[in-house]
Structure 1
Amino acid sequence: MANDDEIQIEPVSSVMKVFAILSALSTQKSLGVTELSQLAMTSKSTVYRFLQTMKMLGYVRQEGDSDKYSLTLKLFEVGAKALEYSDLVELAEPYMNRIGEQTHEALHLGIRDADNIVYVFKVDAQYNLRMQSRIGRRNPLYSTAIGKVLLAEKDEQEVKDILAETEFLPSTKKTHLDVSSLLNELKIVREQGFGEDVEEQEEGLRCVAAPIYDRFGNVIAGMSLSYPTLRHSDEDKLNYIALLKESCEKVSSKLGYNAS
């Protein structure tokens, strides 16, 4: 069997044509189907179909009833979001490492993707008994401390819209079973400035999280600390919350957020 280095991936011609069209549009204010077909070296009918799909997805706009097309800002928004999260991990990593050294517990950095959180960075606990997780893992918004801080500053209708198709599955007997129950807790999260998961996602595991803001004042991520209930004390919890809040405030400030 060939190893990974020997596998040759054949390029998908339709994808290459789409990017050829996007690249061509990036060099001009607008271009017509004929010009684009020449630059992409494909038929006008194919270019037209691609353009209509990209228009439907919001990546290009058609100028009136003409055959001229131009790029929207959606590609910029996608690139800016990716850059923002890249910067986010780079900025958060030293603070998370520092908290990990102080507490020896596990830390996670998570963002929202639809009705889930996705872990984009983690620091492992230094104990044998610790949370098992990985970067890229998904968990529900409704049963995680990070999920709660990501939802807490949204209005009730937006939370309902985000979770409209979500099935509230009881991971433990303490998991929220519906959006109404969650909304009641989100009010508390918003007031206290941190979220908690008290054995809602996994029995025997507690988690606290604080929000990270972008320069527009939107909560874009959460930083959490997880630990087994057998290592819980109220004093430790208050210390964890203080460390997380302080670190999240510094990361938010570096992202351009001004709390005042």
Structure 2
Amino acid sequence: MTERRQRGRPRGFNDTSEQNTIQSLDRAVTVLQSLAQGDGPTLTQLAERLDQSPATLYRVLSTLAARGMVEADPVEQTWYIGPHAFQIGSSFLRRTSLVERARPYLRSLMETTGETANLGVDRQDQTLFLAQVETHATIRAFFPPGTQSPLYASGIGKAMMAQFSPARLEALLARSTLTRFTATTLTDPAAIYQDLAEIRRRGYAIDDEERTEGMRCVAAAIFNAPGDPIGGISVSGPSGRMSAQVIAKAGALVHAAAAQITHSLGGGSGASR
């Protein structure tokens, strides 16, 4: 019997080998990813960064600019992400009500704690930050939407990892390159397992300057109906303000807010591991 294929999916749909990619499209996506860093490179700088010829990149940029995907500063001759790229990217947020549901709680957390509140999800072993409500303080944490950080080196990521099944967690650590970002980054699997056990006991995760020196955060996971972690919220700020006492109070608030968001989404409590 001939295997039935889903409509709209050609044979080899899941094959991501080079023969199934379009080189020019791949180059254009690489350009967009580089410009997303927001540092405004010139054509020469971008060519050096991507190891591509300026002539080739100029054609790519011109094509993207015609579609509003990128734009150039005519005075500085620098390139940036364009408004249409933002519009397309924003459609990702419309796929889920998570951001809409979480935003009031993020604002409440910021107002109550005086620190920045964040929302993130798991995307390919990275914490992808979707939304943020910034504190009014001069010195503050800043994770704009689209920022990514390895799960094991972020408060939200660790809060989710603590609720992974043993098999999922083992597979994650096996395929991850546990890079050390600061002196306190946990890169030993045994230490990570111990930390995750403490997170489950405590109800919230602590990022103790593990991704960025001078910044701490507390985070808790958000769950879907089956009780699987689908994201998390956090409160983050300078280490000087995030003392042990502040962390304990903020942790309880973050845990309660995450539970309320979970309830609003019809989610269940995290499965005991």
Query: Which range, TM-score by smaller chain?
Result: 0.5 to 0.7
Of 188, 195, 217 in structure 2, the residue corresponding to residue 185 of structure 1 is 195
- Larger Rg over CA atoms: 1
Identity %: 28
The aligned amino acid for 2:10 is L
Distance 1:55 1:162, change over 3 A: closer
The aligned amino acid for 1:104 is G
CA shift digits 1:90-127 (9 cap, x unpaired): 00000111111222211111111122110011111211
Of 238, 244, 249 in structure 2, the residue corresponding to residue 234 of structure 1 is 244
Residue 185 of structure 2: aligned partner: 175
Distance 1:259 1:159, change over 3 A: closer
Of 223-232 and 174-183, the range deviating more from structure 2: 174-183
State the SS of the aligned residue for 1:109. Answer: strand
Q: Is the 8 A contact 2:223 2:269 kept in 1?
A: no
Output the CA distance in 2 between the equivalents of 1:239 and 1:221.
21
Residue 31 of structure 1: aligned partner: none
Output the CA distance in 1 between the equivalents of 2:93 and 2:113.
30
Q: Give the number of equivalent residue pairs.
A: 191
The aligned amino acid for 1:52 is R
Output the CA distance in 2 between the equivalents of 1:119 and 1:172.
20
Q: Is the 8 A contact 1:160 1:179 kept in 2?
A: no
Gaps of 5+ in 1: 1-20, 27-49, 58-81
Q: How does 1:81-96 map to 2 (within 5 A)?
A: 86-96=96-106
State the SS of the aligned residue for 1:209. Answer: strand
The alignment status of 1:102 with 2:61, answered yes or no, reads no
Of 83-92 and 226-235, the range deviating more from structure 2: 83-92
The aligned amino acid for 2:149 is N
Residue 42 of structure 1: aligned partner: none
TM-score calculated relative to the size of structure 2: 0.64
Distance 1:99 1:140, change over 3 A: same
CA shift digits 1:2-47 (9 cap, x unpaired): xxxxxxxxxxxxxxxxxxx98xx48xxxxxxxxxxxxxxxxxxxxx
Q: CA deviation at 1:188?
A: 1.0
Gaps of 5+ in 2: 17-91
Q: How does 1:110-189 map to 2 (within 5 A)?
A: 110-189=120-199
Q: CA deviation at 1:135?
A: 0.3
Output the CA distance in 1 between the equivalents of 2:198 and 2:95.
27
When the two chains are superposed, the root-mean-square deviation of aligned CA atoms in Å is 2.4
The alignment status of 1:53 with 2:53, answered yes or no, reads no
Q: CA deviation at 1:56?
A: 6.4
Output the CA distance in 1 between the equivalents of 2:13 and 2:182.
43
Distance 1:247 1:84, change over 3 A: farther
State the SS of the aligned residue for 2:131. Answer: strand
Output the CA distance in 1 between the equivalents of 2:168 and 2:10.
32
